[in-house]
Structure 1
Amino acid sequence: MPILETVLLDTPTLLILHEPRLQLLRVTWRGQYDAKSARTGCEHILAHICHTRCSLMLNDSSEVYGDWWKAGEWVGQVFAFELGKRGIRAVAWINAMDWPSRHSVASTLPHVQGLEVWIFDFDEQDAAYAWLLSQTPPAAA
């Protein structure tokens, strides 16, 4: 039976899974974040994505709370750029239920360039996943 996903990192605040068949990186953020911990989480993602050859990322912030907007510009400019350099071309970002965290996500988006990023509400995980799968180029015949 083929491996459907591989755990790349599992901490109390961050889970990173790799689904090789879909070239998908699935990231789940959990708990309280501030600007420093948000940036550290992004750096963990960059460190673990190197050998995955992923082109899609499901970035689930639905379980996040806290105000990390001061990292928004860095996340949008540096982190997003580095994701693109490593092969990510589409990100489905599931928004938090927490209003300060939702504001932080919104503060990030104007700074993102070079990636297709769509925001989904915290109860739209299935829609986010379906959108990502629609971003997969057709297999070569």
Structure 2
Amino acid sequence: MEVLYDSPALAVSYDPAQQCLYVEWRGKHTAASARSGGEQVLACLRQQPCHKMLNDNTQVTSDWEPAARWVGGEYYQRLAELQMQYVAWVCATNWSARKSMETAMHFVTEPTVVLFDDVASAYTWLAQQGRQ
């Protein structure tokens, strides 16, 4: 894995073997940190273009409901504009964080996003996408 960005709240790496971004959100997030983190992910995607992303929320410990519409609508649309095609979104175990994620999903129209409860299943699904 090639680390593209790392902070206490967010880490973004590129997996050259699977040609995908691995995005790990950590700790407490607010609407502001969800937006700034999303902008950072978009910057990393511009730096390392690819078509697949594993979005790991297992370590998120708070809700970010006020940003759910932006995340599900604008952020995911911007990912698609940067040629992102498949996102494996690993759900938070924290109930309020998971509720925010489920709200965001109501606004996603593209790319293809599938929810998972564990990283291993998400990684397996992501590895199968784009193969003919």
* TM tier relative to shorter chain: over 0.9
Gaps of 5+ in 2: none
Shift of 1:113: 0.8
Deviation at 1:23, TM superposition (A): 1.8
Structure 1: stretches of 5+ with no match in the other structure: none
Q: Does 1:69 align with 2:102?
A: no
1:87–1:20 Cα change, 3 Å? farther
**Of the two, which has the highest radius of gyration?**
1
- The Cα of 1:125 is off from its aligned counterpart by 1.1
TM-score with structure 1 setting the length = 0.90
- Residue type of the alignment partner of 2:131: P
Cα distance in 2 for partners of 1:110, 1:133 equals 25
Aligned residue number for residue 102 of structure 1: 98
Question: What do residues 42-61 of structure 1 show as CA deviations (whole Å, max 9, x unaligned)?
Answer: 01101111031210000000
Residue aligned with 1:29, SS: strand
Amino acid at match of 2:21: L
Aligned pairs for 1:1-141 within 5 A: 5-121=1-117, 124-138=118-132
Instruction: State the superposition RMSD in angstroms.
Output: 1.0
Shift of 1:34: 1.1
Name the CA distance, whole Å, in 1 between partners of 2:119 and 2:93. 13
Spell out, residue by residue over 1:30-76, the C-alpha distance to the aligned partner (whole angstroms, 9 max, x if none).
01011111111101101111031210000000000112011011001
Aligned length: 132
